């Protein structure tokens, strides 16, 4: 029998294993990633977890995780930054990323969030409703290719209400 797959919210006890997965997949370059910079350089384990962070387990092993950070954009709340999304290199392409992002967006919508942004590939994230943000509308700390700033509206028309710098909400 193959090991059971479980997708569930992240708890603080999961953070050491998720940090190790980030180190394996992203290496030392992970500290330059946007999500780390928005969290003021703090890794996920040193920053309050949003209720929307989720992980996937195969048996007892954490194989994938998605982190969401509550942010303000130009001082306005109700938005989230998605990232990092990490999938262990031996299980990519098996739907773990898709399932976790889909579930996180559903939970964020149910929780009343209006907008989710990320820095990533439109060909991958487009399937979840992410679209490029008009250049200059939303700015992030540090250098970012503005064509890779994507947003998904959880409330129709929400993107138009958000302009300016992304900062951690807490």
Ligand X SMILES: CC(C)(COP(=O)(O)OP(=O)(O)OC[C@H]1O[C@@H](n2cnc3c(N)ncnc32)[C@H](O)[C@@H]1OP(=O)(O)O)[C@@H](O)C(=O)NCCC(=O)NCCS
- Residues engaged in binding ligand X (CB under 6 A): 25, 83-87, 92-98, 120-121, 123-124
Min dist CB 99 to ligand X, Å, is 7
Q: Which two tokens stand for residue 17?
A: 């294993």
Rounded to a whole number of angstroms, the minimum distance from the CB of residue 17 to ligand X is 15
Q: How far is CA 119 from CA 13, 40, 74, 149, in A?
A: 27, 17, 17, 5
Min separation Cβ 157 and ligand X, Å: 26
User: Which one, 78 or 83, has the nearer CB to ligand X?
Assistant: 83
**For ligand X, which is the closer residue by CB, 53 or 85?**
85
State the Cα–Cα distance between residues 98 and 168, nearest whole angstrom.
25
105: how many CB neighbours lie within 10 A of its CB? Answer: 22
Instruction: Judge whether 37 and 81 are in contact, CB under 8 Å.
Output: no
Q: Which helix (H) or strand (E) holds 131?
A: strand 131-132
Q: Are 143 and 48 in contact (CB under 8 A)?
A: no
Rounded Cα–Cα distance for residues 108 and 54 (Å): 11
Query: Which residue lies nearer to ligand X by CB, 76 or 99?
Result: 99
Closest to ligand X by CB, 77 vs 129, is: 129
Q: How far is the CB of 63 from ligand X (least distance, A)?
A: 9
Kindly state the smallest distance separating residue 88's Cβ from ligand X, in Å: 8
**Which of 68, 87 has the CB closer to ligand X?**
87
Q: Contact at 8 Å (CB) between 69 and 118? A: no
Residue whose beta carbon is closest to ligand X: 97
Which backbone phi and psi does 14 adopt, to 5 degrees?
Answer: -80, -15
């Amino acid at each position: 029998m193959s090991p059971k797959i479980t997708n569930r919210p992240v708890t603080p006890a999961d953070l050491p294993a998720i940090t190790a997965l980030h180190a394996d997949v992203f290496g030392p370059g992970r500290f330059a990633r946007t999500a780390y910079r928005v969290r003021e350089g703090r890794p996920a384990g040193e920053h309050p977890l949003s209720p929307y962070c989720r992980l996937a387990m195969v048996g007892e092993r954490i194989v994938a995780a998605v982190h969401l950070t509550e942010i303000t954009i130009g001082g306005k709340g109700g938005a989230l930054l998605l990232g990092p999304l990490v999938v262990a290199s031996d299980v990519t392409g098996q739907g773990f990323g898709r399932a976790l992002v889909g579930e996180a967006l559903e939970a964020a919508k149910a929780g009343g969030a209006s907008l989710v942004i990320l820095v990533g590939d439109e060909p991958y994230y487009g399937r979840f409703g992410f679209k490029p943000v008009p250049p200059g509308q939303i700015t992030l700390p540090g250098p970012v290719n503005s064509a890779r700033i994507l947003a998904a509206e959880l409330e129709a028309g929400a993107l138009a209400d958000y302009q300016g710098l992304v900062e951690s909400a807490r």
